[in-house]
Chain A
Amino acid sequence: MSLLRNNTFLMVLVALIVIVPLALPIAESMEAPFSGADDQAEGVIAQVAPDYKPWFSSIWEPPSGEIESLLFALQAALGTGVLAYYIGLRRGMAKAKDEA
């Protein structure tokens, strides 16, 4: 049994990959720890092309950080719902077939 076929092992690894950065003392030396890479790229643009003015802005923006988290959570929830429905359905069908 290869380790890559062991889902428990894989999930523990994923959890570690996410937790380790938070546990390391990297945040203390930074001005804005764990900000988005997209925002940092915007910083580089401001540095190499200080005269660039964005020529279009978002038609609608979430009015607050809370609403933004709500919509991100909604996005993840919708995806999880479909995925979990599918896996549950196929698992049930496989089980029914085994028992038949």
Chain B
Amino acid sequence: MHIMEGFLPATHCVVWAAASAPVVAYGAWRVKKIVEDQPNAKLLLASSGAFAFVLSALKLPSVTGSCSHPTGTGLGAILFGPSVMAVMGTIVLLFQALLLAHGGLTTLGANVFSMGIVGPFVSYGLYKVVRKIGGGLPLSVFLAASLGDFATYCTTALQLALAFPDPASGIAGSAAKFLGIFAMTQVPLAIAEGLLTVVVMNILTKYSQTELKSLNILDEGAQA
């Protein structure tokens, strides 16, 4: 999902950066608030960021014969709300842009938008909806994390299509081409990300009940 350095026209870079900046700023304020109001959740907050750090470093093979990576943003979005992951996503993407030449500074706004904003918001929204209609915790987490991952990659494909319309078939034509690469490759990886997020949530359900209760993931008095 990394749009490479210099691979978006300057106007697009500015627009995506302007769209992402307020969410990242709000997320930073939320992080500060969580650290102040719920100091015992600090370590879990750091761990949510760490999970995104690990997963986005793992480039996995897909049945399409290409490689791509999960995003790891679903877990933190479910636990702390989506805007917090805009901050974590920015940190991960900056690390990769500066040290790995993956993504870039000019495309940072666009990449934060797909990985730090669209993915986490889709995860958070789906989690809430599935829980509301009676889905269990593991199932809700699985659907939220895997579809959030998938949404990030579809966003990248659409961002590229807007910037590079096909001369013959326009934006729709080039969207089909980019989705063909990103979305297809991502299907099994999104499933893997969903499963890994459930693994971590299962561990949290077992050992971090106090935090999950204070974050309203588990009901007070519930035995998971």
CA distance A40 to B177 in the complex (A): 10
CB closest chain-B residue, reference A43: B181
Report if B199 contacts A (CB, 8 A).
Answer: yes
The majority secondary structure among interface residues of chain B is: helix
The 8 Å CB contact of A21, one of B57, B62, B196, is B62
B residues 81-108 near A (Cβ < 8 Å) are 95-102, 104-106
Report if B206 contacts A (CB, 8 A).
Answer: yes
CA distance A34 to B69 in the complex (A): 12
Query: Is B174 within 8 A of A79, CB to CB?
Result: no
Query: Is B62 within 8 A of A86, CB to CB?
Result: no
Least CB distance, B162 to chain A, in whole angstroms = 12
CB-defined contacts of B98 to chain A, threshold 8 Å: 59-60
Report if A76 contacts B (CB, 8 A).
Answer: yes
Report if B22 contacts A (CB, 8 A).
Answer: no
CB-defined contacts of A20 to chain B, threshold 8 Å: 63
- Total residues of chain A contacting the partner, CB 8 A: 59
Query: Is A42 within 8 A of B46, CB to CB?
Result: no
Query: Is A76 within 8 A of B178, CB to CB?
Result: no
Query: Is B101 within 8 A of A56, CB to CB?
Result: no
Least CB distance, A70 to chain B, in whole angstroms = 10
Least CB distance, B126 to chain A, in whole angstroms = 15
CB-defined contacts of B9 to chain A, threshold 8 Å: 55
CB-defined contacts of B14 to chain A, threshold 8 Å: none
CB closest chain-B residue, reference A30: B65
CB-defined contacts of B129 to chain A, threshold 8 Å: none
Query: Is B136 within 8 A of A2, CB to CB?
Result: yes
Can you add 19 more A-B contacts, CB < 8 Å, to A22-B61, A79-B50, A79-B55?
Answer: A2-B139, A5-B202, A11-B199, A17-B195, A34-B66, A44-B164, A44-B177, A54-B4, A54-B5, A56-B6, A57-B5, A58-B97, A60-B98, A68-B100, A72-B57, A75-B54, A81-B50, A83-B200, A90-B208
